Chain A
Amino acid sequence: MVPENNSAIVEHEATTSKISADQIFYLKSRGIDDEGAISLLLHGFCKDVFKTLPLEFSIEAVKLLEMKLEGSVG
């Protein structure tokens, strides 16, 4: 569930969260670049989901998420 643009709505059966342009702008206006902003927002969203995974999968999931983000933005 990696949103391709700022207005994408990411959903999960237990959670609904919206990565909005306003959230990205808020983070950028604090000096954080696009990649950092999207990474923070995605981690925030995925945190709840990862919490339910067994530890080894949880660690791997976080790593995978970071790999996917590298170079995919900007």
Chain B
Amino acid sequence: MLDIQNLHASVEGKEILKGLNLHVNEGEIHAIMGPNGSGKSTLSKVLAGHPSYNVTSGTADLEVNLRPRNLLEMAPEERARNGIFLAYQYPVEIPGVPNKVFLRAAFNSICKFQGAKEVNEDEFELILKEKCKLLELPTGDDDRFVNREVNVSLSGGEKKRNEILQMAILNPRLAFLDETDSGLDVDSLKIVAEGINRLRNKHNAIVLVTHYQRLLDYIIPDFVHVLYQGKIIRTGDRNLAKDIESRGYDWLIKELQ
């Protein structure tokens, strides 16, 4: 589904990704771990098409209707419409815009692209209720999560849950979750992880970018990659994450030298 070859990318002239390779098939869950500053967030931003990140060489192809398409040539909204989703580490606040207005605009833009009928407020209300239930978000009429301004009056944990709500509504084929677990207490982490597990199916894929093995106790990855200095230096199964939890990254870095 996604094939990244020898990807190099820079921010403000500084090279962060230095020859990254990653292959993701449908139905798979990948975890990307790595010390601070290894390029984890850069990878997510590059794949979502953030304008501050420049790809200097390499390729990233996304399979669309069974054919590989150059992801790097697509505008950010085009990537989203073709099934790419990024759950932000720091979700952006949009003052004055109610969450459900934003969510419906996003949902309809994707419906329109896929040739499906756009939904009105009442129809969307039903979709929203169902997805909120799935993520154990409040669906009552007063002080509803979805009536608040986008990310403005939400706590850190609620912002992360709002990202997963967007994922539930947009139903992406390939979701990058950038440190979705950070800032969540144990109970919220469980709820979010269960929500993510419910969104899994054999046609979509999820890439978890995380610092902690804790999340991987709830969402079992097929592959664990270690990113270091802009490259994946080791790929393994979930036991690799456990080794990192107990031994850190030093032993992996030493093996490189």
On whether the beta carbons of A40 and B101 are closer than 8 Å, the reply is yes
Task: Tell me if B170 is interfacial: C-beta within 8 Å of chain A.
Answer: yes
* CB-defined contacts of A27 to chain B, threshold 8 Å: 94, 102, 105-106
In the complex, what residue of chain A is closest to B79 when comparing beta carbons?
A29
Q: A21 contacts which chain B residues (CB < 8 A)?
A: 51-52
Flag if B94 contacts A32 (CB, 8 Å): no
Q: Can you name the residue of chain A whose Cβ is closest to the Cβ of B101?
A: A40
Kindly state the separation between the CA atoms of A44 and B151 in the bound complex, as whole angstroms.
Answer: 13
A30-67 interface bits toward B, Cβ cutoff 8 Å, 1 = contact, 0 = none: 11111010001101111110000000000000000000
Chain B residues within an 8 Å CB radius of A31? 77, 80-81, 106, 109-110, 113, 170
Interface size bracket, A side: 20 to 34
A28 to B105, CA, bound (A): 11
B106 and A32 contacting across the interface, CB-CB below 8 Å: yes
Residues of B within 8 A of A43 (CB): 96-97
Q: Quick check: A47 and B96 within 8 Å, CB to CB?
A: yes
Q: With A28-B80, A31-B80 in contact, do A40 and B97 touch (Cβ < 8 Å)?
A: yes
Question: In the complex where A29-B48, A29-B86, A31-B170 touch, is A17 in contact with B76 (Cβ < 8 A)?
Answer: no
Residues of B within 8 A of A41 (CB): 94, 97
Q: Which residues of B contact A36 (CB under 8 A)?
A: 105, 109
Count of chain B residues near A, Cβ 8 A: 31
How far does the alpha carbon of A41 sit from the alpha carbon of B233 in the complex, in Å?
42
CB <8 Å contact, A17 and B96: yes
A22: chain B residues within 8 A (beta carbon): 92
Closest CB of chain B to A38's CB: distance in Å?
A: 12
Docked pose: A34 CA to B170 CA in angstroms: 18
B94–A30 contact, CB under 8 A?
no
- Among A22, A26, A29, A31: residue with most chain B CB under 10 A: A31
Shortest distance in angstroms between A58's beta carbon and chain B's nearest beta carbon? 15
| Interface contact B106-A25, CB-CB below 8 Å | no
List chain B positions with a Cβ less than 8 A from chain A. Answer: 48-52, 75-77, 79-81, 85-86, 88, 91-97, 101-102, 105-106, 109-110, 113, 149, 166, 170
**9 A-B residue pairs with CB within 8 Å:** A29-B48, A30-B105, A30-B106, A30-B170, A33-B109, A40-B94, A40-B97, A40-B105, A44-B95
Sorted nearest first, the 9 A-B pairs with minimum C-beta distance are A44-B96, A30-B106, A31-B80, A44-B97, A26-B92, A28-B76, A31-B109, A28-B77, A31-B110
Additional 16 contacts, C-beta under 8 A, given A25-B48, A29-B86: A21-B52, A26-B92, A27-B105, A28-B49, A28-B75, A29-B76, A29-B80, A29-B85, A31-B106, A32-B109, A43-B96, A43-B97, A44-B95, A44-B96, A45-B96, A47-B96
